[in-house]
Structure 1
Amino acid sequence: MGGQDDFEQDAEDSGDVERRVADVDAAGHGERLDRWLTTQAPEFSRNHLQALIERGCVLADGKPVTKPAHRLRAGQRIEIELQPTDESRAFRAEAMALDFVYEDEHLLVVNKPAGLVVHPAAGNWSGTLMNGLLAHHAAAATLPRAGIVHRLDKDTSGLMIVGKTLEAVTALSRQIAAREVHREYLALAWGRADEAFVVELPLRRDPVSRVKMAVAPANMGKPARTDVFPLGVGEVDVGVQIRPVSAVHCVLHSGRTHQIRVHLMHRGHPLVADTLYGGLAALGLARQALHAARLTFTHPVTGAALALTAPLPADLAAAWAQIGAASLPD
């Protein structure tokens, strides 16, 4: 079977794409194309090479081959366009319009729109907040996660703190761990929530669905507490009945994944349009009705007290107006 050295690199190729050419020898006769390519380009995984085949990046005797299981014949000339993996592209700067509500040389606070993913991951290797931060300031490339010290779900809007120096990132991470960063949210939830209540229940990954979180049995999850305060109740026509919807102000005492969404669902108040947790879509919303509206914390370098707010984005503001509820209290 031909070795990696049998490939010739196209001298005209530049940038991240490399074209290699090799002839199949007698040992490669009858071999699967994807398996043979792993010996010719061992720096790439078989999964990535299969994806390249399916994209039409491989030619056999000048004709595209798009089936990884294609059987080779001795003497065939194989050409492959080796494109970088999506993961290798993840940590690239991408200029994007970001809404900064505060910024100095040590940190910034961004008002993240709904739909923007925070960190690159499978299915979202580019176009994330991290990519935008790498383009915003050069030092982000030297920091863990480009300085991001906490996250919001893709379809949750609102405020996030980002460190711009290692000193600030370290100090902010310690403040968050010590629960000294106070986070407040506005939400619309199904049901009548006209009295304040506290949900203090541990959370863990849902044992059935890995994309969800769930309330955990005692001593089996991570502690989590959410304080919920009513802001008003309205009624929504869902076609077959009129159902109450409550506007609520949520204060986190911990920052677990999906915490507000799971705690309110557990109390019978799933968020409007939070279909993952059983919240019916209504009021024109196409994403869960949750907004990180206020952050209060101590500046990690100057020691100044910072209290920052972000108004409801247009989709939530329109839904909020239909409920006729109060806004974030002072």
Structure 2
Amino acid sequence: MEIEKFVVDYIDEEKRLDMYLSNKLEDMSRSFIQKLIEKGKIKINGDVVQVKRYKVKENDVIEIEIPDAEILNVEPENIPIEIIYEDDDLLIVNKPQGMVVHPAPGNYSGTLVNALLYHCKNLSSINGVIRPGIVHRIDKDTSGLLMVAKNDIAHKSLAAQLKEHSIHRIYIALVHGNIKEEKGTIHAPIGRHPVDRLKMAVVEKNGKDAITHFRVLKRFNNYTLIEARLETGRTHQIRVHMAYINHPLVGDPVYGPKKPKFNLKGQMLHAKTLGFIHPSKGNFMEFQSDLPDYFQKIIRILENKIN
């Protein structure tokens, strides 16, 4: 069991407790924090929280009791995965489109974690039984590079770099429309959609700061191939930000047009570049991943139409 303690600053006053803690403890979801509230694992000024929607006040002293990880009930599976790099501290995996990163209630098989458990004897335990080793995620239908921690020391180092926004992450995306600018920055907060709770959206209230830099690589009449660099890492960030400026990702079933083009299975988004400081060696490492075949095929189709 681990105890975390926070003292509320005036700038956070009136935030809901679950939201305040999910901002402070980025590895924990609001739903997990709500469960801890229900179980009496969170105290404010020494008293167990009774109100689920409690709004924090300046100088509130919050203690959260983080339970030990449960016994792992996610089974290793012999699923082929492409490992770009591996050492005693970490792996770099090239995830294919269509693979879920980690199990969720009701879906405990066929994920990257199942494959990692088969491949590795050790994975970090910081993210609990469902997400061992997982430092960051990409969506099921986003392909590309992910870093995986083999031990807790490596995990903490990589997670700290993510929090400091020092990890170099570049994505390639195909979006609808012709972007006129050569490059740009989208600085707009992202939070849960106010109506559709399954979606994220640009929202002022309860949104987390989000910054995406983009650069045009090529234009194809009604489509644009871009490079997107993440400064922050919010859920669905590139997808939400590009839809926000009216250039949703091609194939995006959530934020794009209702009738998908090219008979795609998901959004055309690929995590191409990943760079970071190695947790124990201290040197900067950067990895690249080629665009998957389906992505290259669509680009060739668009190139042939403009030639």
Q: Same fold (TM over 0.5)?
A: yes
Are positions 1:160 and 2:174 aligned together?
no
Q: Which has the larger radius of gyration?
A: 1
The partner residue of 2:134 within 125, 139, 148 is: 148
SS in 2 for 1:147: coil
Percent identical: 41
C-alpha spacing 1:141/1:306, structure 2 compared with 1 (3 Å): closer
1:51 matched residue in structure 2? none
Counterpart residue number, 1:307: 286
- Residue 324 of structure 1 aligns to a residue whose secondary structure is helix
1:270 and 2:248 correspond: yes
Residue 193 of structure 1, CA deviation: 1.1
Please give the residue correspondences for 1:188-267 in structure 2 after superposition, counting only pairs within 5 Å. Answer: 188-195=174-181, 196-217=183-204, 220-235=206-221, 244-267=222-245
Q: Match for residue 108 of structure 2?
A: 125
Distance 1:143 1:93, change over 3 A: farther
Q: RMSD across aligned C-alpha pairs, in angstroms? A: 1.9
Question: Do structure 1's residue 183 and structure 2's residue 169 form an aligned pair?
Answer: yes
The 1:323/1:136 distance shift into structure 2, 3 A limit, reads same
1:233–1:323: 8 Å Cα contact kept in structure 2? no
What do residues 235-274 of structure 1 show as CA deviations (whole Å, max 9, x unaligned)?
3xxxxxxxx0110000000000000001000101011011
Aligned residue pairs, count: 230
SS of the aligned residue for 2:229 comes to: strand
Counterpart residue identity of residue 202, structure 2: V
CA deviation string 1:213-245 (max 9, x = no partner)? 00012x53100000110011113xxxxxxxx01
Shift of residue 322, structure 1, vs aligned partner: 2.4
One-letter amino acid matched to 2:276:
F
Secondary structure of 1:162's partner?
strand
Deviates more, 1:115-124 or 1:155-164: 115-124
5+ residue gaps, structure 2, are: 1-69
8 Å CA contact 1:89–1:126 kept in 2: the answer is no
TM-score (norm 2): 0.71
Q: Which amino acid aligns with 2:248?
A: P
Relative to structure 1, the CA distance from residue 141 to residue 126 in structure 2 (aligned partners, 3 Å threshold; closer, same or farther) is: farther
Deviations 1:181-226 (A, max 9, x none): 1111000000011421111000001121121100012x53100000
1:122 positional shift: 3.3
Q: 1 CA distance for matches of 2:235 and 2:73?
A: 22
Q: For 1:192 and 1:178, locate their aligned partners in 2 and report how far apart those are by CA, in whole Å.
A: 33
1:149 partner letter: V
TM-score between the two structures when normalised by the length of structure 1:
0.66
Match of 1:112 in 2: 95
Correspondence for 1:318: 297
Q: Is the 8 A contact 2:193 2:201 kept in 1?
A: yes
